Amino acid sequence: MQLDCLSVGVLVADHLCAPIPRLPRAGELVLTEQLELAIGGCAANAAIDLARLGVRVGVIGCVGQDAFGRFIVETLEAAGAETSGIVRLADVGTSGTLIINVQGEDRRFIHTMGANARLTVEHIPADRVRQARVLYVGGYLLMPALEHAALAALFRQARAWGVKTVLDVVLPGPGDYWPRLEALLPETDVFLPNNDEAAAITGEEDPRRQAERFREAGAGTVVITCGGRGSVLVTEGMRLEAGVYPTSYVGGTGAGDAFDAGYIAGLLEGAEPLRCLQWGSALGASCVRAVGATESVFTRAEAEAFMQAHPLETRRW
């Protein structure tokens, strides 16, 4: 199957609550309006968001042979993603995340890596990469078996075939992550960490300095997403700061993945970095209107109408 994008990486069953007024004390029961099982994980979220835009997208990752693994595969297929590259492992459970939403606060996560910890470069067929226009790896650093030298070699080969490489990360906690990135960034066309991840990796708090550090390490284009404070982009001959589009905030789950999907949609159009930034910002803004990671993300027609109606504030620096 000819693909526009091959989405590789973290596949998760999310268990999340509608916003609660406060965290319960030990032994206390706090009520919520809704408890939801939803698909999650960078690769799954981005794939569903891209499919909503009419992009031909395939997914590669690992799940367990359990109800949650079946749920992930069936949800992706229902959304229009191609799932033959998902490996179902018998001896490990599907990854899951408990997402706790408290009114007025950022989300809290409790996560088990599950089958995602088994994903290796060998699970990514070279012929599938060659058939795509964009290779996206989402959740890198949360998959310990995805070895950096082998992934860098795959990225290098993909670029030789004319496939654009896009990388996003998830950090499992404090650590020295630079050695797992320094060989990979020179083979990365677009690197998309958020401000907190970039601070943990570089030790820099200023997103502009973070972006410059990754760019100096070899990444072609770096976009630091900063939640409600917008984003920062650094690429050859261009440095931009962008604001955010107007939206009604309900929950932030999946917003970064929606941004990634939007940016990839711009790449597939052959758009310039500013237009890609608009695409990413628009899809990210649409995502936060609901608790789940993908349920409120724009279709292509909705995104184009929204961007036409609402200019994105940007400035060069």
How does strand 82-89 pair with strand 57-64? parallel
What size, in residues, is the chain?
A: 317
pLDDT band at 2, cuts 50/70/90?
confident
Question: CA 223, CA 65: separation in Å to the nearest integer?
Answer: 36
Q: How many CA atoms lie within 13 A of 51 on its CB side?
A: 22
pLDDT 10s digits, 221-248: 999 999 999 999 999 999 999 999 999 9
pLDDT for 274 equals 96
- The model's pLDDT over 157-211, given as tens digits with 9 standing for 90+, comes to 999 999 999 999 999 989 999 999 999 999 999 999 999 999 999 999 999 999 9
Find the Cα–Cα–Cα–Cα dihedral 273, 274, 276, 277, rounded to 10°: 120
The Cα–Cα gap between 16 and 270 comes to 36
Q: Which CATH number fits domain 5-21+33-316: 3.40.1190.20, 3.40.50.1000, 3.90.550.10, 3.20.20.70?
A: 3.40.1190.20
The pLDDT tens digits for 269-316 are: 999 999 999 999 999 999 999 988 899 999 999 999 999 999 999 999
Bridge partners of residue 111, in order along the sequence: 97
The dihedral built from the CA positions of residue 207, 208, 212 and 215, taken in this order, carries a sign that is positive
Q: What is the pLDDT of residues 19-71, one digit of tens each?
A: 999 999 999 999 999 998 999 999 999 999 999 999 999 999 999 999 999 99
The 3-state secondary structure of 228-240, one letter per residue: HHCEEEEECCEEE
30/147 Cα distance (integer angstroms): 42
In this structure, how many other beta carbons lie within 10 angstroms of the beta carbon of residue 91?
8
Residue tagged 């955010």 (tokens): 244
Tens-digit pLDDT profile for residues 88-142: 999 999 999 999 999 988 889 999 999 999 999 999 999 999 999 999 999 999 9
| Rounded alpha-carbon distances, angstroms, from residue 180 to 140, 143, 177, 201 | 9, 11, 6, 10
pLDDT at 291: 82
pTM metric for this prediction? 0.94
Express each pLDDT in 3-14 by its tens digit: 999 999 999 999
- Whole-angstrom distance, CA of residue 28 vs CA of residue 49: 37
Q: Which two three-digit tokens encode residue 194? A: 């958020």
Taking 90 as the threshold, does the pLDDT of residue 261 lie above it? Answer: yes
Q: Do 207 and 240 contact (CB within 8 A), yes or no?
A: no
Domain boundaries, the chain: 5-21+33-316
